[in-house]
């Protein structure tokens, strides 16, 4: 029997390490050519699947696929596009199956967060309903670290390392200037309601680190960050101005924005490894015939940090949000607890720098050769 | 004859590599104990000298001084404080000489930008006027890269590497998201009127790099940056909103602020080396009896990049500002020319990562032991 092709798609906000998961999928699939034919990628995620805009990853040399492990962003493009339920939007599901059938796609790998787990789950159910055999496996990804069940989410560890490093570095700067100039530094970070990235800033205050000279900087940082995740965006400037108006301190503020989630140059090695292995595990699950599942991370021990891959049902991940536990935040609300530090610290361990060329990170741009279309156009 | 002590002070905005210059001063002085006694540092710069708040660097082990080479910020504190002319403010100069005399200071090293060169020059003239033998040597430092005469300024190369890396990384992110989400990314950078840091963002667009997928991102970046140095601060958000209101594109924007100048984790190796060697050169100039001078960088060749240390008079550096030449900017104003690239590129070459501990850069905090005071207090 001719092996079925696979379709891989990236979804939602991209990260410094989502391409490592892509590399895990593609490299693992290439080891099983008896079972998996070509790996196609949706250009701009699920939109590419719907519009039959597919990329033939088999046209990329092994060296280019390997370089995905050190390249940020989404190499095939991503999108924010959530499929409605099959009863509300049957045409989209029928179109997907039509595209899958036209290109002999038997495996679908969807790499994203909670919304994407929902989409993947819906698609996993559609094969049976529409009489098309399909194995659908999710691959976790979100800098927000808010997926249910999994111990942590690929993409988060690298952002955590970036924000903790940045706060530590800026703290050294502010400590130098505080005599005559800036007394408070505010940084606005991502992470939505969940607050995990905000918490990671607390790692900057290593007990041997920054408290000696002027311990209150980090508390102030905690204050602004605490606001930061209750108001999505714009909170940093508001808090910075409060600091000036109410406390009469000179401030500086930074808005890391996309820098934090694209900073592959300071990615966490643990994060890169987990992202790659989850991509590889998704392919192995598919080969084992597991539909409607997602490989996840299970923590085995803290010291030394050990983890392994477990399996969750997409239905149990979809649309759920894991918030910071209250006991990860100190009583006064200004800092993280030891328990939180124990959880976070392993996720930022190790460096995995990209190659540099001419003084800058040397990231790969794939050819992204299109697969010839076979179907009439489809309007979204 | 008992060797005279030295005073080293950091001035103005700190950088990722000003401590490398401090290490160059202290390590070189320690090799000449027959000529230079102790190296004191002004706590919070010249304010420490005026208030007799001195730090005894001899209390720091060699290992700690060596770690200054990989630690951002100003290890002894800095300040923004410009001395008026001696005729307007004789009391301050007399106080400085009183402090120097009390602590047997014969060498003064002032590490800063154009304002600091002015202060250093004034102090260099004061010894003779007030009958106190003093050798005063400036050490260049400014992320703005706007000092006269020197080919480039310590601190700038590392910021250039940071902003070019950040723009490149964010561009990979935006390129992934542009189908359904962000089309334009705006980043506000430092650099005052001179525009050198803005120009360095242009290095992100390696000819082999980012133009393939959606070439106009970097032009947009150029636009916002062009605004960025005509309006000091706040320009990023204004331009981002213009992009939304006039062009109807979804945008994201980042404000790198202190992150850019404290990002020791991605410092340029060339910058670190130059900073260290200029500190060392300042001590050698002092030992050679050269007063009122500053060691500077002279470019010998572009390919391969070669540079050497030359000497400028403080009087020729003070209060001058070196702007971006017009022929470093393309006709349309949106990008940098090949000539500009040829100038900038050598300055970001090479990596010089700090040591990491527990997943974060391991920066040194000095003991900063105070020198016992000998004089009555002085009110600034």
CA distance A182 to A172: 12
- State mean pLDDT over A314-330: 94
Question: B146-169: string of b/e by CB count within 10 Å (b at 16+)?
Answer: bbebbbbbbbbbbbbbbbbbbbbb
CB contact under 8 A, A358 and B345: yes
- Provide the shortest C-alpha distance from residue B94 to chain A (in Å): 22
**What's the pLDDT at A228?**
38
CA distance B71 to B73: 7
Digit-coded pLDDT (tens) for B348-375: 999 999 999 999 999 999 999 999 999 9
Asked whether the predicted pLDDT for residue A227 surpasses 70, the reply is no
**What's the pLDDT at B193?**
76
> Chain A residue closest to B256 (CA)?
A254
CB contact under 8 A, A169 and B265: yes
CB contact under 8 A, B173 and A72: yes
Q: Please, which residues bridge with residue A295 across strands? A: A311
Give A-chain residues touching B45 at CB under 8 angstroms: 179
- Work out the angle between the directed axes of helices A216-228 and A156-177 (0-180°, nearest 10): 140
Q: Give the nearest partner residue to B169 out of A172, A259, A356, using CB atoms.
A: A259
pLDDT over 70 percentage in chain A: 93
Region at B74 (left for phi over 0; alpha for psi -120 to 50; beta for the rest): beta
pLDDT class of A233 with cuts at 50, 70, 90: low
Same domain, A12 and A134: yes
**What's the pLDDT at B213?**
42
| Residue B237 in domain | no
> Last residue of a domain, which of A263, A285, A311?
A263
Domain range for A67 is 4-142+265-320+353-361
Q: Measure CA A265 to chain center.
A: 16
Digit-coded pLDDT (tens) for B222-279: 433 333 333 356 788 888 888 888 989 999 999 999 999 999 999 999 999 999 999 9
- State mean pLDDT over B124-137: 91
| Residue B150 in domain | no
Give B-chain residues touching A212 at CB under 8 angstroms: 365
CA pseudo-torsion sign A80, A86, A92, A93: positive
Residues 6+ apart with CB under 8 A from A302: A342, A343, A346
- For an interface test with A, the pick among B203, B257, B305, B380 (most A C-beta atoms closer than 10 Å) comes out as B257
Asked whether the predicted pLDDT for residue A222 surpasses 60, the reply is no
Same domain, A269 and A257: no
Which residue has 């700190």 as its token pair? Answer: B14
The pair of structure tokens assigned to B251 is 């945008």
> Chain A residue closest to B190 (CA)?
A254
CB contact under 8 A, A353 and B349: no
> Chain A residue closest to B258 (CA)?
A170
Which stretches does DSSP call E strand in chain B?
4-10, 36-42, 54-56, 105-112, 135-140, 184-188, 251-255, 293-301, 306-313, 356-357, 360-361
| Residue A119 in domain | yes
> Chain A residue closest to B9 (CA)?
A176
- Provide the shortest C-alpha distance from residue A117 to chain B (in Å): 19
**What's the pLDDT at B25?**
98
CA distance A100 to A166: 44
Same domain, A83 and A106: yes
- Of the candidates B44, B53, B118, B144, the residue annotated as catalytic is B144
- State mean pLDDT over A178-200: 91
Q: Give the nearest partner residue to A257 out of B45, B175, B254, using CB atoms.
A: B254
CB contact under 8 A, A181 and B81: no
> Chain B residue closest to A174 (CA)?
B73
Tell me the CATH number at B42: 3.40.50.450
- Provide the shortest C-alpha distance from residue A285 to chain B (in Å): 27
CB contact under 8 A, A359 and B353: no
What are phi and psi for residue A121, nearest 5 degrees? -65, -45
| Residue A147 in domain | no
Same domain, A182 and A308: no
- Provide the shortest C-alpha distance from residue B379 to chain A (in Å): 15
CB contact under 8 A, A257 and B253: yes
- State mean pLDDT over B121-125: 92
The pair of structure tokens assigned to B227 is 């605004």
Digit-coded pLDDT (tens) for A300-309: 999 999 999 9
CB contact under 8 A, A173 and B79: no
More confident residue, A130 or A270: A270
Asked whether the predicted pLDDT for residue A317 surpasses 50, the reply is yes
- Provide the shortest C-alpha distance from residue B288 to chain A (in Å): 31
Residues 6+ apart with CB under 8 A from A308: A297, A298, A300
DSSP assignment letter at B221? H
- Of the candidates A53, A118, A144, A151, the residue annotated as catalytic is A144
- State mean pLDDT over B270-295: 98
Q: Give the nearest partner residue to B361 out of A79, A165, A181, using CB atoms.
A: A165
Same domain, A16 and A103: yes
pLDDT over 90 percentage in chain B: 78
Same domain, A283 and A299: yes
Question: Which among B289, B310, B287 is positioned nearest to B299, based on CA atoms?
Answer: B310
Give A-chain residues touching B204 at CB under 8 angstroms: 360
Same domain, A113 and A201: no
pLDDT class of A191 with cuts at 50, 70, 90: confident
Give B-chain residues touching A355 at CB under 8 angstroms: none
Digit-coded pLDDT (tens) for B27-69: 999 999 999 999 999 999 999 999 999 999 999 999 999 999 9
| Residue A109 in domain | yes
Same domain, A12 and A137: yes
CA distance A109 to A137: 5
Return the SS3 of B357: strand
Q: Is B144 a catalytic residue?
A: yes
**What's the pLDDT at B226?**
34
The pair of structure tokens assigned to B286 is 């002092």
| Residue B188 in domain | no
- State mean pLDDT over B319-342: 94
Question: Which among A87, A77, A12 is positioned nearest to A42, based on CA atoms?
Answer: A77
pLDDT over 70 percentage in chain B: 93
Show the 3-state SS of B62-121: HHHHHHHHHCCCCCCCCCCCCCCCCCCCHHHHHHHHHHHHHCCEEEEEEEECHHHHHHHH
CB B355 within 8 A of CB A202: no
CB contact under 8 A, A180 and B80: yes
Give A-chain residues touching B356 at CB under 8 angstroms: 351
Question: Which among A57, A46, A59 is positioned nearest to A10, based on CA atoms?
Answer: A46
Asked whether the predicted pLDDT for residue B108 surpasses 80, the reply is yes
- For an interface test with A, the pick among B53, B359, B362, B366 (most A C-beta atoms closer than 10 Å) comes out as B359
Query: Exposed, middle or buried, B191 (CB in 10 Å: 0-12/13-18/19+)?
Result: buried
- Provide the shortest C-alpha distance from residue B34 to chain A (in Å): 32
Same domain, A20 and A52: yes
Could you give the number of structural domains in chain A?
A: 2
CB contact under 8 A, B265 and A266: yes
Q: What ipTM is given for this predicted complex? A: 0.93
| Residue A371 in domain | no
CB contact under 8 A, B169 and A213: no
The pair of structure tokens assigned to A102 is 């036209």
Same domain, A164 and A251: yes
What are phi and psi for residue A66, nearest 5 degrees? -65, -35
> Chain B residue closest to A208 (CA)?
B365
The pair of structure tokens assigned to A353 is 């720098």
CA distance A103 to A98: 9
| Residue A288 in domain | yes
Same domain, A189 and A216: yes
Q: Give the nearest partner residue to A181 out of B80, B175, B254, using CB atoms.
A: B80
**Cβ-based contacts under 8 A for chains A and B:** 216
Q: Give the nearest partner residue to B161 out of A252, A258, A359, using CB atoms.
A: A359
**What's the pLDDT at B104?**
98
Q: Give the nearest partner residue to A206 out of B78, B179, B360, using CB atoms.
A: B360
Tell me the CATH number at A198: 3.40.50.460
Q: Give the nearest partner residue to A363 out of B78, B172, B254, using CB atoms.
A: B172
Same domain, A69 and A92: yes
Asked whether the predicted pLDDT for residue B203 surpasses 60, the reply is yes
Q: Give the nearest partner residue to A253 out of B45, B255, B358, using CB atoms.
A: B255
- Start-to-end CA distance of chain A, whole Å, equals 34
- Provide the shortest C-alpha distance from residue A313 to chain B (in Å): 28
pLDDT class of B11 with cuts at 50, 70, 90: very high
pLDDT class of A218 with cuts at 50, 70, 90: very low
CA distance B80 to B69: 23
């Amino acid at each position: 029997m001719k092996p079925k092709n696979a379709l891989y798609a990236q979804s939602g906000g991209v990260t410094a390490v989502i391409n490592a998961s892509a590399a895990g999928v593609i490299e693992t699939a290439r080891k099983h050519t008896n079972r998996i034919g070509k790996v196609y990628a949706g250009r701009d995620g699920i939109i590419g699947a719907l519009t039959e805009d597919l990329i033939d990853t088999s046209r990329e040399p092994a060296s280019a696929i390997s370089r995905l492990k050190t390249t940020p962003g989404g190499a095939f493009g991503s999108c924010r596009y959530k499929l409605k339920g099959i009863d509300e939007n049957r045409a989209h599901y029928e179109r997907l199956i039509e595209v899958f059938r036209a290109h002999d796609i038997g495996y679908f790998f969807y790499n994203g967060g909670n919304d994407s787990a929902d989409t993947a789950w819906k698609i996993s159910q559609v094969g049976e309903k529409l009489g098309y055999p399909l194995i659908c496996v999710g691959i976790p990804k979100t800098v927000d670290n808010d997926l249910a069940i999994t111990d942590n989410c690929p993409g988060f560890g690298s952002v955590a390392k970036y924000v903790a490093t940045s706060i530590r570095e800026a703290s050294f700067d502010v400590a130098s200037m505080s005599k005559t100039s800036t007394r408070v530094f505010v940084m606005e970070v991502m992470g939505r309601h969940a607050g995990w990235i905000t918490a990671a800033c607390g790692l900057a205050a290593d007990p041997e680190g920054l408290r000696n000279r002027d311990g209150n900087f980090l508390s102030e940082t905690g204050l602004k960050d605490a606001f930061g995740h209750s108001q999505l965006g714009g909170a940093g400037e508001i808090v910075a101005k409060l600091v000036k108006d109410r406390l009469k301190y000179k401030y500086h503020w930074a808005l890391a924005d996309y820098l934090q989630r694209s900073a592959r140059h300071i990615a966490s090695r643990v994060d890169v490894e987990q992202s790659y292995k989850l991509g590889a595990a998704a392919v192995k699950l598919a080969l084992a015939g597991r539909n409607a599942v997602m490989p996840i991370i299970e923590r085995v021990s803290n010291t030394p940090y050990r983890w392994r891959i477990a399996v969750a049902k997409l239905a149990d991940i979809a649309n759920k949000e894991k918030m910071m536990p209250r006991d990860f935040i100190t009583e006064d609300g200004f800092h993280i607890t030891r328990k939180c530090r124990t959880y976070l610290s392993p996720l930022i361990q190790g460096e995995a720098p990209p190659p540099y060329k001419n003084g800058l990170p040397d990231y790969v741009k794939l050819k992204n050769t299109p697969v010839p279309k076979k179907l009439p156009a489809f309007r979204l």
